[in-house]
Amino acid sequence: MADLAIRARGLTKRFGDLVAVNNLDLDVPRAAIYGFLGPNGSGKSTVIRMLCGLLTPTEGSADVLGLKVSDNANQLKPRIGYMTQKFSLFGDMTVLENLQFIAAIYSIPKSRRAPRIDELLENYNLTQQRAQFAGTMSGGQKQRLALACAVLHKPDLLLLDEPTSAVDPQSRRDFWANLFRLAESGTAILVSTHYMDEAERCHRLAILDHGVKVADGTPQELQDGTGMSVVEVLADDPYAAQAVIQSIAEVASVTQLGVRLRVLIPASVDEPLLLVSKYLDAKNIAATAQLSRPSLEDVFVAVTMKPGARAA
């Protein structure tokens, strides 16, 4: 427990007949970035809200920073930073005024406010925007301001709910560079995302599907344990090749990525490369095929596939 920032067991949340989160076990280490990967509606936001005390679980329990959330929500709030998907700061206040307001909410002593705010303006490249109204800032600037506000009180745990959904790729890269610096300084970070490239950056991650955790581990562990062989096909006519491959009973999934096809076949099937090549040759489809290492997207497709379903 000393090495864990979050430990949840059997965490469940129902809204009437809807089971948003179902029997979730979760271990989030300290000083690391733990990711929640899943589509919209998979339960990521609901989990985060239960962990910070905004929602009460229907069943199960969660210990955060060594304290039971249900009994110690008020004690935990000063130790947690929370950044929502939607920009929630004051658009009619300047960058500096927003930071001063957050500092007052967390009762940071006045003698420490100005130095801490100056430090954040410098660290998050907001010095030139300090007098700018937050509502007039770009998406990337708003994101940096929201993160600065979330960490102003130096929380032990940072909860981020799809924080990069509305920013450009460069802003996303810069944002993740800041997260790594925070983790290296000892902050535990739980971040939800539906971007595969972001999930690959996490030290560990869980994949959620309709409120159920269907995979958990490091990106490397998940890729190594996907249970699928991956055949990559490059065809002159990828549409014709995809139609042929989808007719193969052993194929679990075919996904087109540009001119390439990613074919998932259960690891129990012998010689998957020969199987795909045989079918393509029989239909006179000009293509080359080779075995490929599973990607995190392949893992996601494999673990969220329903029995009897064929993804394309």
DSSP 3-state assignment of 94? strand
Which residue type sits at 149?
A: C
So what's the pLDDT on residue 2?
Answer: 66
So what's the pLDDT on residue 168?
Answer: 80
Domain 225-304 is in which class? alpha beta
Residue 283, CB half-sphere, CA atoms under 13 Å: how many?
17
Produce one character per residue of 51-86: b if its CB has 16 or more CB atoms within 10 Å, e if not: bbbebebeebebbbbeeebeebbeebeebbbbbbee
**Segment holding 20, helix H or strand E:** strand 18-29
Cβ-Cβ contacts under 8 Å for 304 (sequence gap 6 or more): 207, 209, 214
| Unique residue bearing structure tokens 């990967």 | 37
Q: What is the separation of C-alpha 234 from the centre of its chain, rounded to a whole number of angstroms?
A: 30
Q: Do 280 and 233 touch, CB atoms closer than 8 A? A: yes
Cβ-Cβ contacts under 8 Å for 160 (sequence gap 6 or more): 83, 150, 179, 189, 190, 191, 192
Domain ranges for the chain, please list them: 4-221, 225-304
What CATH number should be reported for the domain whose range is 4-221? 3.40.50.300
pLDDT in tens, 17-31: 999 999 999 999 999
Q: Do 207 and 304 touch, CB atoms closer than 8 A? A: yes
Q: Do 197 and 175 touch, CB atoms closer than 8 A? A: no
pLDDT in tens, 66-89: 999 989 988 998 999 999 877 778
C-alpha span between 184 and 181 (Å, rounded)? 5
Q: Could you tell me which residues are beta bridge partners of residue 254?
A: 263
C-alpha span between 251 and 3 (Å, rounded)? 42
E strand intervals along 152-236: 157-161, 188-193, 204-209, 212-217, 228-235
Cβ-Cβ contacts under 8 Å for 129 (sequence gap 6 or more): 95, 137, 141, 145
C-alpha span between 227 and 14 (Å, rounded)? 32
So what's the pLDDT on residue 162?
Answer: 86
So what's the pLDDT on residue 310?
Answer: 52
Does the pTM surpass 0.95? The reply is no
pLDDT in tens, 255-294: 998 889 999 999 999 999 999 999 999 999 999 999 999 9
